[in-house]
């Protein structure tokens, strides 16, 4: 997501939050349509699979539907929503221990078979290294790079200090660099 898309997302999200107290059903529907893909992608990093991640998203939105003012009055609504989804995902894994990670299906493309194999092997290596990180570091990396949150927003979403978030990120980047170095050479 580029800077323009991120700004547009934030502006649209802010509009939805502003409507929560006036038109909660409409606002939640628009918010769900706007943010669901991003939130599920994040929840997969916690649950390890798509169905549980989708359940976490549904659970978070259900809770917010009953008390929309909690989100509307939050100092930082986007991190608040991420934290809600995270909490639901953690509840799900407590209930369903032992769920495995499901890799998404990949469609075919026009690249040469050799290039596609190399690309998939590289992607698999990166995924493996990411998954080998401690969950606490993995979450921070995902929120920083895929969701493009600031350390302050990540700290708010995870209920941690900015220093803790920054340290986890730094340690994760060091581990990733060491582990991925052979791929770069």
Single residue among 69, 99, 129 that ends a domain in this structure: 99
Q: Is the pLDDT of residue 142 over 80?
A: yes
| Same domain assignment for residues 55 and 126 | no
Residue 107 inside a domain? The answer is no
| Same domain assignment for residues 93 and 135 | no
- Residue with the larger pLDDT of the pair 125 and 40: 40
| Same domain assignment for residues 86 and 124 | no
Distance CA 151, CA 161 (A): 9
Range of the domain at 156: 112-180
- Specify the length of the chain in residues: 185
The terminus-to-terminus CA distance of the chain in angstroms comes to 27
DSSP 8-class letter at 76: S
What's the pLDDT score for residue 100? 46
Read off the pTM: 0.62
Q: pLDDT tens-digit profile of 81-124?
A: 999 999 899 888 888 764 444 333 434 444 455 665 666 666 66
Single residue among 55, 70, 99 that ends a domain in this structure: 99
Is residue 98 helix, strand or coil? Answer: coil
What's the pLDDT score for residue 116? 58
In 13-137, at which residue ranges do the beta strands (DSSP E only) sit? none
Q: Is the pLDDT of residue 30 over 90?
A: yes
What's the pLDDT score for residue 183? 62
């Amino acid at each position: 997501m580029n800077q323009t898309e991120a700004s547009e997302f934030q502006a649209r999200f802010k509009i939805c939050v502003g409507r929560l107290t006036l038109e909660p059903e409409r606002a939640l529907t628009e918010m769900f349509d706007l943010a669901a893909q991003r939130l599920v992608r994040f929840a997969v990093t916690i649950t390890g699979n798509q169905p549980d991640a989708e359940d976490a998203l549904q659970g978070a939105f259900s809770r917010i539907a009953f008390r929309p003012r909690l989100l509307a009055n939050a100092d930082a609504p986007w991190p608040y929503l991420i934290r809600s989804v995270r909490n639901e995902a953690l509840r799900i894994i407590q209930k369903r221990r032992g769920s495995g990670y499901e890799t998404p299906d990949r469609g075919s493309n026009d690249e040469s078979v050799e290039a596609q194999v190399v690309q998939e092997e590289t992607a698999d290596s990166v995924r493996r290294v990411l998954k080998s990180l401690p969950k606490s570091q993995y979450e921070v990396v995902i929120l920083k790079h895929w969701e493009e949150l600031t350390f302050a927003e990540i700290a708010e979403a995870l209920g941690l200090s900015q220093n803790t978030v920054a340290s986890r990120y730094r340690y994760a980047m060091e581990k990733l660099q060491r582990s991925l170095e052979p791929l770069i050479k």
